[in-house]
Structure 1
Amino acid sequence: METIRAFIAVDVGAEIRAALDALQRKLKKTHANVRWVKPRNMHLTLAFLGHLAPEKIEPLGRALDGALRGQAPFELVAAGTGTFGKPSHPRVVWAGIHECPALLQLQTGVLAALRDAGVDYDDKPFSPHLTLGRVKGPEHTESLLQKVGNFKDCELGRTPVDAVELIQSLLTPHGAEYAVLHRAEM
């Protein structure tokens, strides 16, 4: 059976994207072996679905629409930087998201919609972040970590959140390409 690779995310908006692009340019000067995420592809993942059967798209869209009904829009603030993985061997470089109860409520509602629609998802604990890049090798890691530490407390922009998107991820030799399959608005 044919499936699509998909996830549910919040669009981070132009202001945050521009700030993250500028931040990446500074981090790239370390010459670390990192595959950087294209700014146009940056998003805040609420749930990674993995492989989704195409016939689940429409029922999932309806479930997401229902889950967002009554939820008030809110503002998302990107701030700070860090890494996932061991300090000596980071795997991911990320920008953080300020603590936001409305975001946690939104993510909880999205997971309930997934269960209602009978859609499986990766149930790792939610750690709100924006992936800047994936570390591919140890070259210049120390310099990268030092530079990432320089931005651990900086604000990187704000964006209103008034919708979530069901996104298809197509892996290509040039990186992931994304297509919005459904947009559920608050």
Structure 2
Amino acid sequence: MTRPPAEKRAGKPAAPRGASDSASAPGNTAPGNTAPARGAPRRGASTKGAAEGGQLGKHPGKNKPGVKAGGKPVTAAPARERVLRLFFGLALPEAVSAELAQAQAKLSSNWRKVEEDQLHITLAYLPGVPEAEVAKLRELGTRLAAEAGPMTLRLRGTGYHPNVGTPRVWFVKLEGEGLAELAARFAAELETLGFPVEGKFQPHVTLARKKGPAPRLPPLNFTQEWEAAQLHLIHTFLPRDKTGPVYDTVSRFRLTGAAPMRPLSPEPPSTSGAPETPSVPDHHFPEEPDGKVE
């Protein structure tokens, strides 16, 4: 006796002769597999809008670029302009930096030393310069560098800021013909350009900073002398690890004038009878928005 095909035994019609065994039509599945074929729409799902590449939604225009649910257009927020912390300054020769690094080695671990290759002299500090305005600062640096000649600078003794109470900065003083005059000229020119300089210029090199209690070192005196012949425009920023500020040179300007910068007008003589005690202005130690000191 001949047994009927399995389809007839189960009450199902037999497939036409020559039909393919594979699931070739959208929505067909292979034997034993209940998931729809790859790329096929789910049962009952609409294909409207699929050609546009967006996800499907019940609101017209939903998931389209620039369109909110309900078909309302989205207005893109204007990009925030980048604001930079910059300063005009002078770099130190390697021999001078190496000498100061030896003095830094005497500090306790509570002090955070300025890296040897980042020791510098700040002439004019600008805490908030729009990136698009940096070109104006380059033009100013080029112009003043052409007027000012090389300067002979000399290191002096160390000091602390603040001078009373618990200090948070250790620095070394310096002096040089034309140095204060060049800083004053920068302050005047920057004010005219709409970039007021923060703080009063005090010639110094920051050696270390700290946040907690730490012992003071006895005063140290230095006698190094060198010729400064190049001016720098420097970007200062705090890296993510906040281990200390990083100084990145934006532009360099060679001092090509015939002589060091002269004062714009003679200063009135001091009437106090005592020399002014050098100090470091707070502007040289800017704070991050979270209150952490650079």
User: Shared fold by TM > 0.5?
Assistant: yes
Q: How much is the aligned-residue C-alpha RMSD, in angstroms?
A: 1.7
Q: What is the total number of aligned residue pairs between the two structures?
A: 173
Tell me how far apart the structure 1 counterparts of residues 183 and 149 of structure 2 sit (CA, whole Å).
13
Tell me how far apart the structure 2 counterparts of residues 117 and 64 of structure 1 sit (CA, whole Å).
13
Deviation string 1:81-132 (CA, Å, 9 cap, x unpaired) is 111114331121001103x23101111222233234322320x221111111
Is 1:120 matched up with 2:200? no
Gaps in structure 1 of 5+ consecutive residues: none
Conservation of the 8 A alpha-carbon contact between 1:5 and 1:50? yes
Q: Is the partner of 1:90 in helix, strand or coil?
A: coil
Give the TM-score normalised by structure 1.
Answer: 0.85
Deviation (angstroms), 1:167: 0.5
Q: Is the partner of 2:181 in helix, strand or coil?
A: helix
Q: In the alignment, residue 178 of structure 1 is paired with which amino acid?
A: Y
Deviation (angstroms), 1:163: 2.1
Alignment of 1:82-121 (within 5 A): 82-98=159-175, 100-121=176-197
Structure that is richer in helix per residue: 1
Deviation string 1:108-158 (CA, Å, 9 cap, x unpaired) is 222233234322320x2211111111122114x2xxx2x332x1x332x22
Q: Is the partner of 1:121 in helix, strand or coil?
A: coil
Tell me how far apart the structure 1 counterparts of residues 134 and 174 of structure 2 sit (CA, whole Å).
28
Q: Which aligned runs of 4 or more in structure 1 are off by greater than 4 angstroms?
A: none
Which has the higher Rg, Structure 1 or Structure 2? Answer: 2
Q: In the alignment, residue 77 of structure 1 is paired with which amino acid?
A: R
1:162 aligned partner: 229
Conservation of the 8 A alpha-carbon contact between 2:168 and 2:210? yes
Deviates more, 1:14-23 or 1:80-89: 80-89
Tell me how far apart the structure 1 counterparts of residues 252 and 218 of structure 2 sit (CA, whole Å).
33
Alignment of 1:32-181 (within 5 A): 33-98=110-175, 100-122=176-198, 124-139=199-214, 141=215, 145=216, 147-149=217-219, 151=220, 153-155=221-223, 157-172=224-239, 173=241, 174-181=243-250
Q: Is the partner of 2:153 in helix, strand or coil?
A: strand
Higher relative contact order (CA 8 A, sep 6+): 1
